[in-house]
Every structure is written in C-alpha cells, then in structure tokens.
C-alpha cells in the first residue's frame, strides 16, 4: 500500500474504530471531563484535561509504533531476506481484515491479543490510580501516558501494521495517524458522553465501521498479491 494511502487508512481506522475506543476508554474520558464538582456545567473547564490526556495517549501510541517499526526493520534487514517483510505485510493485511470483523461484532479472535496485553496492564494500572482523582493538567497527561498502553485489539492490530513497515519513523507515523483518528470520538465522548455512547452502541454503526476497515485490509492484500 502506498505510504500516503497507508497513513490515511490508519487515520480512518482510528476514526471508524471510535465505536470500540469509546467502549475501551470512554469511561476514563468521561471522568476526566469533570475536574471538580463546580466544573460539571462548564465545558471550557473540561478542555485542558481532555487535551492533555489525549495528547499523552497518542504519544504512547507513537512511541509504541516506533518501537515495533524498529523490530520490523531488524527482522527485514538483519536477516537480509526480503520475503520476511512481505510476510509481515501479509500478516498486517490479514489483521486488518480481522479487525474489521472484530469491530462489526462478527468475530472476536482479537480478544486474545487484549488478554495477552493484560499481563502488562496489571503492572501499569495501579500507577494510573495515583493520579485519580485528577487535580491538574499534569496529572491528566501522566494518566494518558499510562492509559495509552491499555490492552486493545484495535491498537495492537495497527501495531502489527507498523511492524510490517520495517521503519521506526514510519511505524511512529502510522500510530500517530491512527491516534489522531481516534481523537474526535474521544473528545466528543468527554463533552457529550451520554449521547455519543448511545449512538456508538448502534449495531449498524459498528457493522459499517467493520466493513470499511475490512475494505482497507482487502485492498492491502490485493496490493501484495497482484
């Protein structure tokens, strides 16, 4: 897949995957939107916390993308076997198809990825509790850095994509694009939690998002085998 198309696809995967992101991160984002009891009715008071949290969360994604892109680079160049990179690209395309099925609610095979990440999360989650209740933008940023490592099949699928890029820089760019794609849904969740949550539970929305993501995976497969 051409690089510009891949970055756009990663952004759209994040945007369309918002139906999943709201379920995974919506609770903490909704809590972040209420800094103090007296701020509950003031939308302007919510923005600094929401922006700090999401900036940190996306920074964690970007770092993970750079690390996994570096792993892909080592696999492709250290061995000197071009077929390894092609194999990684094929794996990434298949993961994208699986991600679409997962988002649509037709297949739950990616749950095992989240269960695997849960081992790391058990060590990180207690660190996040130290910043609750939130009293500052610094606390929101620190919590976002930690929350960016939350076990999530959606994120892990894009990380597989970053491995196939065989480039730390491009892996970081993929995860940055993905993270920016998740931003509108999670910012909206912080401002309009009840209404957005109801809409994203609509199975028609989930199926449409899943079909579109499957389309990206199918296009990537076609690029590899043509």
Distances (CA, A) of 7 to 3, 21, 24, 97, 171: 6, 19, 23, 17, 10
Sole residue written with tokens 């103090």: 36
Q: Which residues contact 108 (CB under 8 A, 6 or more apart)?
A: 102
Contact (Cβ atoms closer than 8 angstroms) between residue 101 and residue 210 = yes
The mean pLDDT of 152-169, rounded to a whole number, is 86
Which pLDDT does position 30 carry in this prediction?
Answer: 58
Mean pLDDT value across residues 192-218: 68
Q: Give the tokens for residue 203.
A: 């199975």
Q: Which of 29-38, 39-48, 131-140 has the highest mean pLDDT?
A: 131-140
- Considering 41-45, 71-75, 108-112, 219-223, the range whose residues carry the highest mean pLDDT is 71-75
CA distances from 148 to 56, 73, 145 (A): 7, 23, 5
For the chain, the first-to-last Cα distance in angstroms comes to 11
- Distance from C-alpha of 151 to C-alpha of 147, rounded to nearest angstrom: 9
Q: Which of 50, 78, 76 is nearest to 171 (CA)?
A: 76
pLDDT(38) > 60: no
State the average pLDDT for the chain. Answer: 76
């Amino acid at each position: 897949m051409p690089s510009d198309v891949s970055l756009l696809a990663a952004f759209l995967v994040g945007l369309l995957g918002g139906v999943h992101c709201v379920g995974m991160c919506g609770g903490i984002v909704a809590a972040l939107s209420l800094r103090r009891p007296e701020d509950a009715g003031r939308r302007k008071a919510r923005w600094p916390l929401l922006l700090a949290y999401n900036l940190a969360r996306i920074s964690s994604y970007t770092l993970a993308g750079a690390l996994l892109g570096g792993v892909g680079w080592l696999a492709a160049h250290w061995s000197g076997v071009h077929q390894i990179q092609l194999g990684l690209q094929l794996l990434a395309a298949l993961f994208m198809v699986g991600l679409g099925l997962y988002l649509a609610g037709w297949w739950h095979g990616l749950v095992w990825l989240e269960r695997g990440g849960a081992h790391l999360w058990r060590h990180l989650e207690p660190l996040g509790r130290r910043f609750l209740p939130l009293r500052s933008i610094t606390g929101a940023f620190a919590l976002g850095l930690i929350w960016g490592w939350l076990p999530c099949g959606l994120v892990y699928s894009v990380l597989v994509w970053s491995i196939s890029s065989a480039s730390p820089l491009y892996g970081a760019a993929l995860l940055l694009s993905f993270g920016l794609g998740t931003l509108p849904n999670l910012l909206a969740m912080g401002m309009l939690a009840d209404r957005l949550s109801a809409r994203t539970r609509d199975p028609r929305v989930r199926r449409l998002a899943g079909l579109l993501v499957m389309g990206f995976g199918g296009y990537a497969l076609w690029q590899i085998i043509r």
